């Protein structure tokens, strides 16, 4: 499968940024002139009982604090929660892996591999020790289960592409300028890019990363009383609404069974989140699994133990891919998907 890739050079700060910012116009020109063609809609392997083709959209909101999410005006996220499950005490770290910090490197690697740091090897934002052979990205596991499925990654934190999401068929990277606070513009561009492809291309599983909530927290504070932070959560919700509208506009939407999963890498306290293993506002975040295949549950803080390691298992299970024992995934789909989707 030919790959589309757009990206810039990215020196990192605490979160990870770069010195260039690619605009939507560049993406559209490159997409239109690229010498490749997407394949027709592939058939998913081991389809669940539904006759519709399973699809997965993973949305990552960096630095999303739970009490701020509860207070924010987020109609798109509320819609997703109402069509599935939302759990506010989703762990982003393991008590059994004490060396792992509550920062983006280990947080997103856990989200995207379904394993804790003792297996994937990432303890901080340097990504030193990354064990991609032991804990491959879920796109690689997707291809092992069904090589015909099309994977797509859209992000504006370049280190994730360098160290984790390198296996995507469609790989779109926007490189914001940290000094100009361009994660806000980066997220907007990512949302436009992802929506353009989700609306029309035969993508089977996509990951869309949005980083401006975290960057706003670092600048102004992670708290529901901080207006810029709350405003950015609500702006991010509008980006998510754009993605949902793009999926609904697909010409094959009626024949598809979309599962949307929303999660984060950590919350925050003050203007940071590192060293937050003892702070529930940092090591807990919210996770949503939404769609016809999702278990319906009311919003609650009192749920069985769940973690972001469940995300990989949920996505693969919905796609009809068998979770192999040798993958040693730390999570599972039991508390998120209906029994009919887990068969």
- CA–CA dist 103, 107 (Å, integer): 6
Which residues, other chains included, contact 298 with Cβ-Cβ below 8 Å and sequence gap of 6+?
none
Give the residue extent of every domain in the chain: 4-30+57-342
Helices (H), 181-299: 183-198, 212-220, 227-248, 280-283
Q: What is the mean pLDDT of each run of 10 residues along the chain (343 residues)?
A: 38 37 36 36 46 96 96 97 94 83 87 92 86 91 96 90 83 77 88 96 96 93 96 98 97 97 92 73 92 83 83 97 95 92 72
Q: What is the pTM of this model?
A: 0.86
- CA–CA dist 168, 151 (Å, integer): 5
Mapping DSSP to helix (H, G, I), strand (E, B) and coil, where does residue 211 land? coil
Residue 28: its pLDDT value, please? 37
Residue 181: its pLDDT value, please? 64
Q: Tell the CATH superfamily of the 4-30+57-342 domain.
A: Alkaline Phosphatase, subunit A (3.40.720.10)
Compute CA 313 distance to the chain's CA centroid, rounded to the nearest angstrom.
Answer: 13
- CA–CA dist 62, 28 (Å, integer): 26
Q: Do 21 and 175 contact (CB within 8 A), yes or no? A: yes
Residue 178: its pLDDT value, please? 62
């Amino acid at each position: 499968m030919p790959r589309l890739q757009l990206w810039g050079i990215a020196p990192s700060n605490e979160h990870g940024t770069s010195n260039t910012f690619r605009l939507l116009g560049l993406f559209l020109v490159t997409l239109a002139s690229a010498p490749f063609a997407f394949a027709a809609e592939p058939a998913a392997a081991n389809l669940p009982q539904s006759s519709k083709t399973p699809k997965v959209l993973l949305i990552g909101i960096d630095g999303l604090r739970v009490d701020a999410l509860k207070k924010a005006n987020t109609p798109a996220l509320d819609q997703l929660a109402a069509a599935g499950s939302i759990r506010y005490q989703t762990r982003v770290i393991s008590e059994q892996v004490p060396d792992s910090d509550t920062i983006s490197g280990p947080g997103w690697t856990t989200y995207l591999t379904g394993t804790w740091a003792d297996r994937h090897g990432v303890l901080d934002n340097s990504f030193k020790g990354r064990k991609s052979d032991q804990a491959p990205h879920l796109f690689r596991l997707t291809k092992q289960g069904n090589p015909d499925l099309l994977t797509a990654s859209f992000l504006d934190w370049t280190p994730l592409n360098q160290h984790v999401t390198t296996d995507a068929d469609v790989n779109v990277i926007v490189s914001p300028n940290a000094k100009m606070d361009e994660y806000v513009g980066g997220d907007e561009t990512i949302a436009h890019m992802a929506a353009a492809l989700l609306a029309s291309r035969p993508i089977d599983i996509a990951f869309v990363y949005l980083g401006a909530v975290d960057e706003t927290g670092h600048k102004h504070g992670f708290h529901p009383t901080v207006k810029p932070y709350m405003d950015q959560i609500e702006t991010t919700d509008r980006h998510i609404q754009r993605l949902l509208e793009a999926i609904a506009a697909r010409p094959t939407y009626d024949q598809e069974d979309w599962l949307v999963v929303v999660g984060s890498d950590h919350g925050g306290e003050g203007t940071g989140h590192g060293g937050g293993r003892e702070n529930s506002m940092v090591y807990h975040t919210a996770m949503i699994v939404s769609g016809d295949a999702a278990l319906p549950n009311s919003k609650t803080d009192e749920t069985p133990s769940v973690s972001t390691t469940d995300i990989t298992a949920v996505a693969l299970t919905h796609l009809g891919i068998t979770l192999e024992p040798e993958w040693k995934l730390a999570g599972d789909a039991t508390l998120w998907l209906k029994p009919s989707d887990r068969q």
